[in-house]
Structure 1
Amino acid sequence: MKTADGPFRLAEPVLSSDRPRWAWVLMLCACALPLLTSLGLRDTWHTMENVTLASSTETFLAQHGWHDIPQRDDAWVVPTWRGKPRLNKPPLAVWLNLMAWGDLTPDQTNPRELMLRARYVSVALGLLLIASVYWLGLSVGNIHTGLLAAFFAGTTLLVQRQARLASYDIHLTAFVTFAVAAAWWAIGPHRPDRPFKVWRYLLGWVLCGVGLGAAIMSKGPLAYPLLLLPAILCIALHRHDWLRNAGGLLIGLAVATALAFPWYNYILTTFPDTASGLSHEYAAARPEFQPVWYYVGLLGLIWPWTVLFFGAIFQPWGLATGSRRRQMLYAWGWMALIFIFFSIPAAKQQRYILPIIPAIGLMFGAFWVDHQRITDAGEKDEKLDWLRIPHWVMLAGAPLVVMGMILGYDWFIQNGHTDMAAFGKVQLPLIIFWVLLCSGITYLGAKAHWRNEHLRAGYLNAAWAIVFTSMILHAYSIGHDQLHPVYNEAVRFKQVVNDSPVRFLHMTDRHDELNEEFVFFSMRIIDSIEMDQLQDFMSDTNYPAKMPRYVMVLDNNMAADKLTAAGLTEVLVFNQDYHENEPMKTHLWQYKP
């Protein structure tokens, strides 16, 4: 095909012979290595993973019936958190966890097994995200665009971290990226000569709707703009059949809404106050305002591609002759729109920006392939060639820095520098082999890049990232805080209460009544009561007459006299959490009828 002249020339079509059927499988297997490395060795410490696991576990226990939790076959319909329906988050993440736990019962499992299986779900969704980026690369480029984009997106620090946590964010990002990939495939950017096929058009937009519907059922209506922004951008840049593609977008939106409507309609009619709660959920308000430029400071999260990011972001605007600007503008525009969208609200956290990674990965893939095209045309991009030096120097030095941190583990701990002891102790021969392997890949990659063998250098970059990331994730997983101290506290708690009912006595207006890790590790649903409800709990006839009753309280000084007067005895003191200055010291009181 002859391409058009000018800055918006089209990319050549991808021939079927240029698409080895096994390439994407090998790519996914390679990206899975760091994701699966030592996945279950580190306990859950992150708030959203804790909440997701705790809510999933509560629903799991209610499905089976456990201790004082009555069995409910329909518990899965509306998952609970702290015994109350969790209406501000859709249930798909919980449903997928329940599927992963389908062969388990509460008496034959433990929190760490539940955590590991839930993390396997996140890894699977991380691989879906990576595969979707590959699909996007094929839509705007060729096999190398897709593979490199997928490798780059899949090895960023942010994706590797979030895809190893059983949290909502990887669910949202994976399903939205799949929806975008299906939409772009239906539109067919850079394929102006591709004949229109009704089956492709309908299949693409229906798959888009399925992905969007799953994203909505993972984290709510936020998924709509995350799909609309890149879809409308692609329709606008493609400039062909925009009316037909706009109709396809409406099909996708209709399918997604049809999938999500039944659950939202159910909770809105069953729980009348849901609407006001959801409006607060999406008000994006936090006590600490984050400035508009907050996400600019998170460039480190796209490591190890941070240096190259500065080349890729300017590539569409400072091109040498022979580059394809529009091909890069798809990814560049998508990235810019997502960045602006998340920068406007005051609510900002690192995990919120995860949906930008597919766009950045696609931009990297197009950037790398573009440099190979420039070289093949006998030209040079001298303004950006210098970025190769700091990039490969960084890759050469990073393993040495990590090796120093691993070997210095004992010294850091002994001298009180626990913040530097992020990586646990790894056997010295393994560390040496790892450093030599990383160094060898760095040498080959830098050599290929210096010879302008950009594609070879790109794949060696990906190999380095996989080897490097696998080690640091293993070392991180066996660090000094590998085991959460609350786990043992929860074990002590369970040994005392056994299968007896427990309530938390609410004395003051505080938000930290029950720590998320403790709730998950204890595998209980612990409802809160106030002092005037204490007598009703102790005399509740739903429990055997001689069964002990237990009450937890944080504000023991305020409650001790009243609990003693009511006939309760303090039997245990434990910590629900280990804050630096204020551990959640909790007192457990027993009432024997």
Structure 2
Amino acid sequence: MRSPTPPDEPRFVLAARHMVETGQWLLPHRGSELYAEKPPTFMWIQAGTYKLLGSWNLSFLLPSLLAALLTLWLTWDMARRLWNPRVARYAVLALFVTLQFGLMAKRAQIDMVLVGMTTLALWGLVRHLLLGPSWGALALAAFAAGVGTVTKGVGFLPLLMLVPWVIWRWRHPQAAGPGRSWKWWLLLPAFLAGTAVWLAPLGIALLQNPDPALQSYAKELLFKQTGTRYANAWHHHQPFWYYLQVMFTLWVPGSLLFPWLVPAWWRRCRRADPRYLLLLGWALLVLVFFSASPGKREVYILPMLPALAVAAAPLLPGLLRRTGVRWVLMLYALLLSLATLVVGYGAVHGDGWAQRNAVKRAIDPWVLPQVGWWLIGFAVATLLVIAVLRLRRAGLAVVLTTVLLWCMYGLGAMPALDPYSSASRVMDQVRERIGPDAELGMVAWREQNLLQTWPQATDFGFKRPVAGQWEDAARWVAQAPERRWLFVLDKVMSPCADRSQVIDIGSANRNNWQLLPGTALQADCVARTHGVVDDADAALQDDGD
């Protein structure tokens, strides 16, 4: 019901579409350039899904959906095995209602697939370390960690669970569980087999092809985008305590129960219950690992959530009998409904926060009431749920509120806003203006703009300096100026363009775009004024994550 939207979704679909169209699956491309910020594993999954379904608007979201469903099942099964089926139901619902989990399950980003691989590895480790020995489960855990590592570099983190387990076994040598065995060596080959999903074909290509571009790609991805990015991040700088803020905002409503959960967890850890020690000890190690890096984003700690949901689940039946906990959960649902009611009312009547943001994003005025009524509908339905269930069933009220929230988000708000967030509206205007027989080139473009062109427009590089893009664009236009056009970010329009012929074609994602007919650009002038627009380069780079 929607198209890929920034920041990450369009670039992954561009790479996946390039794989399908060219048959070159090893090296992902963003337009004409190699895309070296992430391994291609996630893009392989999207491209493979497209080959099965034949629709990008279906296939680009399906990997995240399947990974989220897998994560929910693994969370349920871990809790069932560690405790009982009743606790398992609390675990899976606790994970489902957490705001960040639902949001990422509905986004086509790498992180949800990483969470699926991480949780699979944790599931295998729990089966072996706490319920085993199960050497097959250990090998599966290591393999999943390997696949997670070549999906996004931190996929090895589940193996840190061995640290609290070793400490616990040292303190309790007589406890049941796996002991000394040569089979522990299964960890290394199984992990390497997981990483070989991508590293093996890359290594073969590096040995067979001396192309400097390929060597540079491998160096960028294997070193700069992993170790350098962690130890000396060049963007997303945040203070050490940043993730505490993330937990208390994006992990609602679960984080609202921390005042009750943390003391209860501490008491069980002091009793040396290995289930809590391993789950919470691992989560703490992950939190410290990411907090130590200067570069931080809220999605980095998402893999902790399933483990914390399993650790919280045995405590939830007792907590939900407490009046204070019920009030906290009911107030969460009430405040969420009132906030959406206020925003929805403002959207319907064309004033307030919604109106200001619509103007910034060039959203047509007639769209606001449509979104507003969806928000009001969610608010009214949530208030009705609260009134019917009342304080006694606050837990169920939160679950139903979450269901209503994601239905409103997926069925109403996102489809209505899609033409503006995906840039499809402005690109439709471009097609209408230049006609079906024209050719389009792009200067200082964004991924969503290129993705929305069909057939795909000509680009002159994404990370290249703007001056270099203009030089290539001028040569391209000069070959057929009567039928070639340039789509350009307004801030970098060349001084060699005839301003009287520049067309303001529209805005998307808070950027203003212009169309330049090929006949309005002086190619010889572009060559003479090389570097005039270099100062705009810093504002154009968006590595994403």
Report how many residues are paired: 481
Higher relative contact order (CA 8 A, sep 6+): 1
Cα distance in structure 2, aligned partners of 1:46 and 1:54? 12
Q: Does 1:537 align with 2:481?
A: no
Cα distance in structure 2, aligned partners of 1:248 and 1:233? 20
What's the CA shift string for 1:205-233, capped at 9, x where partnerless?
332244223323322x3212x12212443
Identify if the C-alpha distance between structure 1 residues 547 and 211 changes in structure 2 by more than 3 Å, giving closer, same or farther: farther
Segments of 5+ residues of structure 2 without an aligned counterpart are: 359-367, 461-467, 521-545
Q: Does 1:166 align with 2:104?
A: no
Q: Does 1:79 align with 2:28?
A: yes
SS of 1:101 mapped into structure 2: helix
What's the CA shift string for 1:494-529, capped at 9, x where partnerless?
342646544335xxxxxxx11222122224253215
TM-score between both structures, scaled by the size of structure 2: 0.76
Give the C-alpha shift of residue 236 in structure 1.
4.3
Identify if the C-alpha distance between structure 1 residues 326 and 81 changes in structure 2 by more than 3 Å, giving closer, same or farther: same
Cα distance in structure 1, aligned partners of 2:492 and 2:380? 55
Cα distance in structure 1, aligned partners of 2:86 and 2:275? 13
Q: Does 1:47 align with 2:7?
A: yes
What's the CA shift string for 1:151-170, capped at 9, x where partnerless?
21122110100110111111
Cα distance in structure 1, aligned partners of 2:408 and 2:356? 16
Structure 2 counterparts to residues 325-340 of structure 1, below 5 A = 325-340=273-288
Cα distance in structure 1, aligned partners of 2:273 and 2:349? 50
Give the C-alpha shift of residue 538 in structure 1.
4.8
Instruction: Give the AA of the match of 2:405.
Output: T
Residue 281 (structure 1) aligns with = 225
> Is the CA contact 1:151–1:462 (under 8 Å) kept in the aligned structure 2?
no
> Is the CA contact 1:173–1:355 (under 8 Å) kept in the aligned structure 2?
yes
Identify if the C-alpha distance between structure 1 residues 400 and 530 changes in structure 2 by more than 3 Å, giving closer, same or farther: closer
Instruction: Give the AA of the match of 1:413.
Output: G
What's the CA shift string for 1:316-361, capped at 9, x where partnerless?
324699x874322222112211111111111111122211211221
Cα distance in structure 2, aligned partners of 1:497 and 1:280? 43
Cα distance in structure 1, aligned partners of 2:62 and 2:339? 27
What's the CA shift string for 1:369-397, capped at 9, x where partnerless?
6779xx9xxxxxxxxx5742542442452
> Is the CA contact 1:115–1:166 (under 8 Å) kept in the aligned structure 2?
no
Q: Report which stretch shifted further, 336-345 or 411-420.
A: 411-420
Percentage of identical aligned residues: 16
> Is the CA contact 2:445–2:489 (under 8 Å) kept in the aligned structure 1?
no
> Is the CA contact 2:102–2:406 (under 8 Å) kept in the aligned structure 1?
no
Residue 413 (structure 1) aligns with = 350
Cα distance in structure 2, aligned partners of 1:179 and 1:211? 5
Identify if the C-alpha distance between structure 1 residues 370 and 178 changes in structure 2 by more than 3 Å, giving closer, same or farther: farther
Question: Which of 247, 251, 262 in structure 1 is aligned with 2:185?
Answer: 247
Residue 223 (structure 1) aligns with = 155
Residue 538 (structure 2) aligns with = none
Cα distance in structure 2, aligned partners of 1:517 and 1:334? 38
Give the C-alpha shift of residue 137 in structure 1.
1.8
Q: Does 1:302 align with 2:239?
A: no
> Is the CA contact 1:152–1:462 (under 8 Å) kept in the aligned structure 2?
no
What's the CA shift string for 1:414-457, capped at 9, x where partnerless?
245547999631397775444323443343425xxxxxxxxxx6
Identify if the C-alpha distance between structure 1 residues 75 and 574 changes in structure 2 by more than 3 Å, giving closer, same or farther: farther
Residue 473 (structure 1) aligns with = 409
Instruction: Give the AA of the match of 1:515.
Output: R
Structure 2 counterparts to residues 85-96 of structure 1, below 5 A = 85-96=34-45
Question: Which of 438, 446, 450 in structure 2 is aligned with 1:515?
Answer: 446
Residue 33 (structure 1) aligns with = none
What's the CA shift string for 1:73-96, capped at 9, x where partnerless?
x32232211222223311122122
Q: Does 1:207 align with 2:140?
A: yes
Give the C-alpha shift of residue 289 in structure 1.
2.4
Identify if the C-alpha distance between structure 1 residues 97 and 90 changes in structure 2 by more than 3 Å, giving closer, same or farther: same
Give the C-alpha shift of residue 181 in structure 1.
0.9
SS of 1:503 mapped into structure 2: strand
What's the CA shift string for 1:114-150, capped at 9, x where partnerless?
2343113211111111112223223432223333222
Instruction: Give the AA of the match of 1:301.
Output: L
Instruction: Give the AA of the match of 2:219.
Output: S
Cα distance in structure 1, aligned partners of 2:8 and 2:492? 31
Cα distance in structure 2, aligned partners of 1:432 and 1:178? 38
Higher helix share: 2
Q: Does 1:292 align with 2:266?
A: no
Give the C-alpha shift of residue 471 in structure 1.
4.9
Identify if the C-alpha distance between structure 1 residues 473 and 490 changes in structure 2 by more than 3 Å, giving closer, same or farther: same
Cα distance in structure 1, aligned partners of 2:357 and 2:503? 35
Segments of 5+ residues of structure 1 without an aligned counterpart are: 1-39, 64-71, 106-112, 376-384, 447-456, 506-512
Cα distance in structure 2, aligned partners of 1:80 and 1:481? 28
Q: Does 1:178 align with 2:120?
A: yes
Instruction: Give the AA of the match of 1:360.
Output: L
> Is the CA contact 1:571–1:589 (under 8 Å) kept in the aligned structure 2?
yes
Identify if the C-alpha distance between structure 1 residues 438 and 230 changes in structure 2 by more than 3 Å, giving closer, same or farther: farther
Q: Does 1:128 align with 2:70?
A: yes
Q: Does 1:441 align with 2:389?
A: yes
SS of 2:94 mapped into structure 1: helix
What's the CA shift string for 1:397-424, capped at 9, x where partnerless?
2364146336523466324554799963
Cα distance in structure 2, aligned partners of 1:303 and 1:84? 40
SS of 1:585 mapped into structure 2: strand
> Is the CA contact 1:137–1:149 (under 8 Å) kept in the aligned structure 2?
yes
Identify if the C-alpha distance between structure 1 residues 498 and 167 changes in structure 2 by more than 3 Å, giving closer, same or farther: farther
SS of 2:88 mapped into structure 1: helix
SS of 1:484 mapped into structure 2: helix
Cα distance in structure 1, aligned partners of 2:317 and 2:488? 61
> Is the CA contact 1:180–1:231 (under 8 Å) kept in the aligned structure 2?
no
SS of 1:584 mapped into structure 2: strand
Identify if the C-alpha distance between structure 1 residues 409 and 123 changes in structure 2 by more than 3 Å, giving closer, same or farther: farther
Cα distance in structure 1, aligned partners of 2:194 and 2:119? 14
Identify if the C-alpha distance between structure 1 residues 263 and 418 changes in structure 2 by more than 3 Å, giving closer, same or farther: farther
Cα distance in structure 2, aligned partners of 1:500 and 1:358? 51
Cα distance in structure 2, aligned partners of 1:522 and 1:98? 18
> Is the CA contact 1:312–1:363 (under 8 Å) kept in the aligned structure 2?
no
Question: Which of 349, 352, 371 in structure 1 is aligned with 2:300?
Answer: 352
SS of 2:419 mapped into structure 1: coil
Residue 531 (structure 2) aligns with = none
Residue 368 (structure 1) aligns with = 316
Residue 573 (structure 1) aligns with = 504
SS of 1:76 mapped into structure 2: coil
Cα distance in structure 2, aligned partners of 1:237 and 1:472? 46
SS of 1:551 mapped into structure 2: strand
Instruction: Give the AA of the match of 1:467.
Output: V
